[in-house]
Amino acid sequence: MNTVNDLDLVVLDMAGTTVADGGLVERAFTAAAERLGEDPATMIDYVRATMGESKISVFRHLLGGDETRARQANTAFEEAYGELVTGGLIAPVPGAAEAIAELKEDGRTVVLTTGFARVTQDAILDALGWRDLVGLTLCPADAGGRGRPYPDMVLAALLRTGAVDDVRRIAVAGDTSYDMLSGVRSGAGTVAGVLTGAHDEAALRAHGATHVLASVAELPALIRESDA
Protein backbone atom coordinates (compact mmCIF):
# COMPACT_ATOMS: atom_id res chain seq x y z
CA MET A 1 0.00 0.00 0.00
CA ASN A 2 1.37 3.42 -0.94
CA THR A 3 2.06 5.93 1.80
CA VAL A 4 2.64 9.67 1.70
CA ASN A 5 6.37 8.92 1.77
CA ASP A 6 6.27 7.10 -1.57
CA LEU A 7 7.45 9.54 -4.22
CA ASP A 8 5.73 7.92 -7.19
CA LEU A 9 5.63 10.97 -9.49
CA VAL A 10 8.97 12.52 -10.49
CA VAL A 11 8.95 15.80 -12.40
CA LEU A 12 12.28 16.62 -14.01
CA ASP A 13 13.51 19.77 -15.69
CA MET A 14 15.32 19.37 -19.01
CA ALA A 15 18.08 21.91 -19.88
CA GLY A 16 20.69 21.90 -17.13
CA THR A 17 19.12 18.99 -15.25
CA THR A 18 18.73 16.08 -17.64
CA VAL A 19 20.09 17.82 -20.75
CA ALA A 20 23.50 19.48 -21.06
CA ASP A 21 23.17 22.31 -23.56
CA GLY A 22 26.59 23.90 -23.12
CA GLY A 23 25.31 27.47 -22.76
CA LEU A 24 22.99 27.32 -25.76
CA VAL A 25 20.29 29.29 -23.93
CA GLU A 26 22.55 32.32 -23.62
CA ARG A 27 23.71 31.96 -27.21
CA ALA A 28 20.13 31.80 -28.46
CA PHE A 29 19.12 34.82 -26.35
CA THR A 30 22.04 36.74 -27.80
CA ALA A 31 21.00 35.85 -31.34
CA ALA A 32 17.38 36.82 -30.66
CA ALA A 33 18.36 40.18 -29.15
CA GLU A 34 20.61 40.98 -32.07
CA ARG A 35 17.88 40.11 -34.59
CA LEU A 36 15.64 42.69 -32.89
CA GLY A 37 18.38 45.32 -32.78
CA GLU A 38 18.78 45.05 -28.99
CA ASP A 39 22.06 44.96 -27.06
CA PRO A 40 22.32 41.48 -25.51
CA ALA A 41 24.89 42.73 -22.97
CA THR A 42 22.13 44.71 -21.24
CA MET A 43 19.97 41.59 -20.93
CA ILE A 44 22.28 38.74 -20.05
CA ASP A 45 22.34 39.21 -16.26
CA TYR A 46 18.55 39.03 -16.12
CA VAL A 47 18.55 36.03 -18.43
CA ARG A 48 20.96 34.19 -16.12
CA ALA A 49 18.99 35.10 -13.00
CA THR A 50 15.72 33.84 -14.49
CA MET A 51 16.94 30.57 -16.00
CA GLY A 52 14.07 28.10 -15.86
CA GLU A 53 11.37 30.71 -16.41
CA SER A 54 9.13 30.62 -19.47
CA LYS A 55 11.12 32.39 -22.18
CA ILE A 56 8.22 34.54 -23.38
CA SER A 57 7.86 35.86 -19.83
CA VAL A 58 11.54 36.79 -19.78
CA PHE A 59 11.21 38.71 -23.03
CA ARG A 60 8.09 40.51 -21.78
CA HIS A 61 10.11 41.83 -18.85
CA LEU A 62 13.17 42.72 -20.90
CA LEU A 63 11.13 44.55 -23.54
CA GLY A 64 9.01 46.56 -21.13
CA GLY A 65 5.82 44.61 -21.62
CA ASP A 66 5.69 45.18 -25.39
CA GLU A 67 3.80 42.00 -26.31
CA THR A 68 4.44 42.23 -30.05
CA ARG A 69 8.19 42.61 -29.65
CA ALA A 70 8.28 39.99 -26.90
CA ARG A 71 6.63 37.47 -29.22
CA GLN A 72 9.01 38.41 -32.04
CA ALA A 73 11.96 37.94 -29.71
CA ASN A 74 10.64 34.64 -28.43
CA THR A 75 10.18 33.34 -31.97
CA ALA A 76 13.74 34.42 -32.82
CA PHE A 77 15.02 32.71 -29.67
CA GLU A 78 13.22 29.45 -30.43
CA GLU A 79 14.52 29.49 -34.01
CA ALA A 80 18.10 30.15 -32.89
CA TYR A 81 17.96 27.49 -30.18
CA GLY A 82 16.44 24.98 -32.57
CA GLU A 83 19.23 25.59 -35.07
CA LEU A 84 21.86 25.01 -32.38
CA VAL A 85 20.13 21.84 -31.18
CA THR A 86 19.85 20.33 -34.63
CA GLY A 87 23.51 21.21 -35.14
CA GLY A 88 24.40 18.55 -32.60
CA LEU A 89 25.36 20.93 -29.79
CA ILE A 90 23.37 19.14 -27.12
CA ALA A 91 23.76 15.96 -25.08
CA PRO A 92 22.26 14.19 -22.07
CA VAL A 93 23.66 15.03 -18.65
CA PRO A 94 25.85 11.99 -17.83
CA GLY A 95 23.71 9.37 -16.13
CA ALA A 96 20.42 11.16 -16.78
CA ALA A 97 18.86 8.59 -19.10
CA GLU A 98 20.00 5.80 -16.80
CA ALA A 99 18.48 7.61 -13.79
CA ILE A 100 15.16 7.95 -15.58
CA ALA A 101 15.27 4.26 -16.45
CA GLU A 102 15.95 3.42 -12.78
CA LEU A 103 13.06 5.56 -11.60
CA LYS A 104 10.72 3.83 -14.05
CA GLU A 105 12.01 0.40 -13.04
CA ASP A 106 11.15 1.34 -9.44
CA GLY A 107 7.56 1.88 -10.58
CA ARG A 108 7.62 5.67 -10.63
CA THR A 109 6.08 7.90 -13.28
CA VAL A 110 8.57 10.37 -14.76
CA VAL A 111 7.58 13.61 -16.52
CA LEU A 112 9.99 15.96 -18.32
CA THR A 113 9.26 19.71 -18.23
CA THR A 114 10.76 22.80 -19.82
CA GLY A 115 10.41 26.56 -20.04
CA PHE A 116 10.81 26.33 -23.82
CA ALA A 117 7.99 26.26 -26.34
CA ARG A 118 6.74 22.86 -27.51
CA VAL A 119 8.55 23.10 -30.86
CA THR A 120 11.89 23.53 -29.08
CA GLN A 121 11.16 20.83 -26.54
CA ASP A 122 10.37 18.42 -29.36
CA ALA A 123 13.58 19.40 -31.18
CA ILE A 124 15.58 18.53 -28.05
CA LEU A 125 13.79 15.21 -27.60
CA ASP A 126 14.38 14.33 -31.24
CA ALA A 127 18.06 15.32 -31.11
CA LEU A 128 18.61 13.06 -28.10
CA GLY A 129 16.40 10.21 -29.31
CA TRP A 130 14.25 10.68 -26.21
CA ARG A 131 10.78 10.69 -27.76
CA ASP A 132 9.90 7.43 -26.02
CA LEU A 133 11.95 7.95 -22.87
CA VAL A 134 8.97 9.05 -20.76
CA GLY A 135 5.22 8.95 -21.20
CA LEU A 136 4.61 12.69 -20.77
CA THR A 137 6.53 15.88 -21.52
CA LEU A 138 5.19 19.32 -20.62
CA CYS A 139 5.92 22.91 -21.62
CA PRO A 140 4.22 26.07 -20.28
CA ALA A 141 1.53 25.98 -22.98
CA ASP A 142 0.48 22.56 -21.68
CA ALA A 143 -0.22 24.06 -18.28
CA GLY A 144 -2.33 27.05 -19.23
CA GLY A 145 0.60 29.17 -20.39
CA ARG A 146 2.32 29.76 -17.07
CA GLY A 147 5.80 28.33 -16.67
CA ARG A 148 8.09 28.44 -13.67
CA PRO A 149 8.23 29.77 -10.97
CA TYR A 150 4.52 28.96 -10.95
CA PRO A 151 3.62 25.41 -9.88
CA ASP A 152 1.37 24.81 -12.87
CA MET A 153 3.52 22.31 -14.80
CA VAL A 154 4.08 20.18 -11.70
CA LEU A 155 0.36 20.17 -10.95
CA ALA A 156 -0.43 19.46 -14.61
CA ALA A 157 1.86 16.44 -14.37
CA LEU A 158 -0.15 15.19 -11.39
CA LEU A 159 -3.49 15.76 -13.10
CA ARG A 160 -2.50 14.28 -16.45
CA THR A 161 -0.81 11.17 -15.14
CA GLY A 162 -2.99 10.44 -12.10
CA ALA A 163 0.14 8.82 -10.69
CA VAL A 164 -0.38 10.05 -7.12
CA ASP A 165 -3.25 11.28 -4.99
CA ASP A 166 -1.24 13.63 -2.80
CA VAL A 167 1.16 16.41 -3.85
CA ARG A 168 3.51 15.32 -1.08
CA ARG A 169 4.20 12.20 -3.13
CA ILE A 170 5.78 14.26 -5.92
CA ALA A 171 9.53 14.73 -6.33
CA VAL A 172 10.73 17.72 -8.36
CA ALA A 173 14.30 18.14 -9.60
CA GLY A 174 15.91 21.05 -11.41
CA ASP A 175 19.01 23.22 -11.71
CA THR A 176 17.53 26.70 -11.17
CA SER A 177 16.01 28.80 -8.41
CA TYR A 178 12.76 28.88 -10.36
CA ASP A 179 12.68 25.08 -10.49
CA MET A 180 12.91 25.10 -6.71
CA LEU A 181 10.16 27.70 -6.30
CA SER A 182 7.90 25.77 -8.65
CA GLY A 183 8.41 22.60 -6.64
CA VAL A 184 7.85 24.29 -3.29
CA ARG A 185 4.71 26.07 -4.48
CA SER A 186 3.28 22.80 -5.80
CA GLY A 187 3.62 21.20 -2.37
CA ALA A 188 6.01 18.51 -3.63
CA GLY A 189 7.46 16.33 -0.88
CA THR A 190 11.00 16.45 -2.30
CA VAL A 191 12.47 19.41 -4.17
CA ALA A 192 15.97 18.50 -5.30
CA GLY A 193 18.43 20.94 -6.79
CA VAL A 194 21.20 19.68 -9.06
CA LEU A 195 24.56 21.31 -9.67
CA THR A 196 24.87 20.59 -13.40
CA GLY A 197 23.18 23.76 -14.59
CA ALA A 198 22.57 27.44 -14.00
CA HIS A 199 22.55 28.04 -10.23
CA ASP A 200 24.75 27.11 -7.29
CA GLU A 201 23.90 25.37 -4.02
CA ALA A 202 23.32 28.61 -2.11
CA ALA A 203 20.77 29.85 -4.64
CA LEU A 204 19.01 26.50 -4.81
CA ARG A 205 18.71 26.21 -1.03
CA ALA A 206 17.63 29.84 -0.70
CA HIS A 207 14.68 29.09 -2.96
CA GLY A 208 13.52 25.97 -1.16
CA ALA A 209 15.61 22.97 -2.18
CA THR A 210 15.14 20.15 0.31
CA HIS A 211 18.23 18.42 -1.12
CA VAL A 212 21.12 19.44 -3.39
CA LEU A 213 22.71 16.73 -5.54
CA ALA A 214 25.78 16.69 -7.73
CA SER A 215 23.55 15.56 -10.59
CA VAL A 216 20.24 13.91 -11.40
CA ALA A 217 22.11 10.58 -11.47
CA GLU A 218 21.89 10.63 -7.65
CA LEU A 219 18.11 11.08 -7.60
CA PRO A 220 16.95 7.43 -7.71
CA ALA A 221 18.96 6.59 -4.59
CA LEU A 222 17.67 9.67 -2.77
CA ILE A 223 14.07 8.75 -3.55
CA ARG A 224 14.57 5.15 -2.45
CA GLU A 225 15.86 6.46 0.87
CA SER A 226 12.81 8.69 1.28
CA ASP A 227 10.53 5.68 0.73
CA ALA A 228 12.13 3.76 3.57
By residue count, the chain amounts to 228
φ, ψ at 192 (rounded to 5°): -105, 125
Look at residue 113 and tell me whether its pLDDT is greater than 90.
yes
Look at residue 158 and tell me whether its pLDDT is greater than 70.
yes
Element (H, E) at 71: helix 67-86
- Confidence at residue 92, expressed as pLDDT on a 0 to 100 scale: 95
Arithmetic mean of pLDDT, 165-190: 96
227 vs 6: which has the higher pLDDT: 6
- Confidence at residue 228, expressed as pLDDT on a 0 to 100 scale: 66
Arithmetic mean of pLDDT, 52-70: 84
What's the mean pLDDT when you consider all of the chain? Answer: 90
Look at residue 3 and tell me whether its pLDDT is greater than 60.
no
Whether the CA torsion 172, 158, 60, 27 is positive or negative: it is: positive
Look at residue 48 and tell me whether its pLDDT is greater than 90.
no
Tabulate helix, strand, coil % of the chain (nearest 5). 50, 15, 35
- Confidence at residue 1, expressed as pLDDT on a 0 to 100 scale: 42
Q: Tell me: the pLDDT tens digits for 6-19? A: 899 999 999 999 99
Arithmetic mean of pLDDT, 61-74: 87
Give the residue from 114, 212, 213, 219 showing the smallest Cα distance to 170: 219
Q: Tell me: the pLDDT tens digits for 85-106? A: 877 778 999 999 999 999 999 9
- pTM of structure: 0.87
Q: Tell me: the pLDDT tens digits for 123-154? A: 899 989 999 999 999 999 999 888 889 999 99
| Residue 49 CB neighbour total at 10 angstroms | 15
- Confidence at residue 198, expressed as pLDDT on a 0 to 100 scale: 82
